Chain A
């Protein structure tokens, strides 16, 4: 099985900050990597697919990069509505998720 490791597991940031979340796969997954945002009590929402493609309707302050084993989700200027938990997901074999990164208000 492919293991997905996210770091950090949590972070504190202020509105307007640039935030970077990292996801590492235990083996190469090319660009088969997605990012989701989840708010408390809600279902996850797709942000980025195929490592760097922005889902329709998602603000352009969200971006994804990487290929192979190392991937990054960047929020260029954190907004109040962005405080949430973020998950990466590989779709190379089956659909495993990372452990999540909780973005909290500083």
Chain B
């Protein structure tokens, strides 16, 4: 069974740091691009970061320079190092595997599966 399990969430003060982990099982982790997505309580989904199979990384402007995504293929693990945390970073953080389908020269990507999420609360 393909499974993703996040850990590492908790309460942190503004300006603090936190490292999230995502343990993958049931598939060849090193062969997939991976992502972090967050969701504030009662709000929508926000893509937070991506890492390719070659270790290339991508971020939206809202977290660039503060968050760092990484992976350790030998441990089937994905990480998100979050620094300079703000109240606005409070959310459930999900890791997700990117699926890909290529047809007619175009390759389409999507997220499946997702982990169960881990809650990060930034508050004094």
**Which A positions have Cβ atoms within 8 angstroms of B?**
1, 30-32, 34, 36, 38, 42-46, 49-50, 53, 55, 87, 89, 91, 94-100
Contact = CB atoms under 8 A, between A and B. Distances in A.
A32 B108 contact: yes
B94 interface: yes
A41 B88 CA distance: 20
Contacts, number: 66
Contact of B47 (A30, A49, A94, A99): A94
A49 to B, nearest CB: 4
Interface size bracket, B side: 20 to 34
Interface in B51-101: 58, 60, 94, 99, 101
Contact of A49 (B106, B108, B117): B108
Interface string B104-115: 001011111111
Contact of B50 (A34, A95, A97, A100): A95
A34 B115 contact: no
Contact of A97 (B45, B112, B113, B117): B45
B44 A99 contact: yes
Interface of B: 35, 44-47, 50, 58, 60, 94, 99, 101, 103, 106, 108-117
B85 to A, nearest CB: 22
A31 B111 contact: no
Q: Chain B CB within 10 Å — which of A31, A49, A87 has the most?
A: A49
Contact of A96 (B47, B50, B101, B103): B47
A35 B94 CA distance: 17
B108 A87 contact: no
B44 A50 contact: no
Nearest to B6: A43
